[in-house]
Amino acid sequence: MEKPDFNIEEVTKIIRGRRSMFVAQFKENDPVDDSVIEEMLENANWAPTHKLTQPWRFIVYTGEGLKKFANYQAEMYKSRAAKNGTPFIEATYQKFKENPLKASHVIAILMKRTENSGIPVMEEIAAVSMAVQNMYLTASAYGLAAYWGTGGPTFWPEAREDFGLEGEDMLMGFFYVAKPASDRWPTGKREPIADKVGWIRE
């Protein structure tokens, strides 16, 4: 394979231009084409992965599937509150039930361990995170609103079986995608990199 001819200006532009946009910024009832989501997932599949374990797995909810996911997390929230004796908050229940319906697609992000791979769990988590970054960059390149959230069932033990998780497998959150309601792109903010780097030259 020939060495690719990358455009560093464009690479830098998309990395520094990537933004998170949340449900309040979504344009509702105007779905993103599935082909765009498929391209995001294909780019996710090219993330770095030690020993090519490729630990990322995705479940895509769209159309009626969004209602299924929304009802699932809302009802699990209600049952957890009753079972654990924690306060049931109606507003939280409604948020679980309504927010997914405002997205075009919601993508569950899973990390599946390869048995006896010998690879530290941290490396597999990092690989999935880099896969999600590829999704983020692709979504931004298409001008889409997207964010990675770890609310809802992400850390609920009861959800593990429903998502086919075993052992050290993890549910790592949900990636929400929609068209943005506005043409205005969010402003980014970072502290200077010089404050976060030490150089050792000799």
What residues does each domain of the chain span?
19-187
State the pLDDT at residue 187: 96
Q: Which two tokens stand for residue 35?
A: 């082909």
**What does the pLDDT look like over 20-55, one tens digit per residue?**
999 999 999 999 999 999 999 999 999 999 999 999
State the pLDDT at residue 161: 97
User: Kind and range of the H or E element at 40?
Assistant: helix 34-44
State the pLDDT at residue 137: 98
State the pLDDT at residue 115: 85
Domain 19-187 grouped into CATH 3.40.109.10: yes
Q: Is 129 annotated as a binding residue?
A: no
**What does the pLDDT look like over 80-130, one tens digit per residue?**
999 999 999 999 999 999 999 999 999 999 999 998 889 999 999 999 999
State the pLDDT at residue 74: 98
State the pLDDT at residue 13: 97
Q: Is 105 annotated as a binding residue?
A: no
Q: Is 160 annotated as a binding residue?
A: no
Residue 60: pLDDT band with limits 50, 70, 90? very high
Determine the Cα angle at 70 with ends 65 and 76, to 5°: 125
Query: Measuring CA to CA, which residue among 9, 72, 44, 6 is closest to residue 177?
Result: 44
State the pLDDT at residue 116: 86
Which residues, at least 6 apart from 121, have a Cβ–Cβ distance to it below 8 Å?
113, 168
Q: Is 104 annotated as a binding residue?
A: no
133 pLDDT more than 90 = yes
**What does the pLDDT look like over 145-200, one tens digit per residue?**
999 999 999 999 999 999 999 999 999 999 999 999 999 999 999 999 999 999 99
User: Can you point out the beta strands (E) in the chain?
Assistant: 26-27, 56-62, 105-111, 145-149, 170-180
Instruction: Say if CB 176 and CB 146 are below 8 A apart.
Output: yes
177, amino acid identity: V
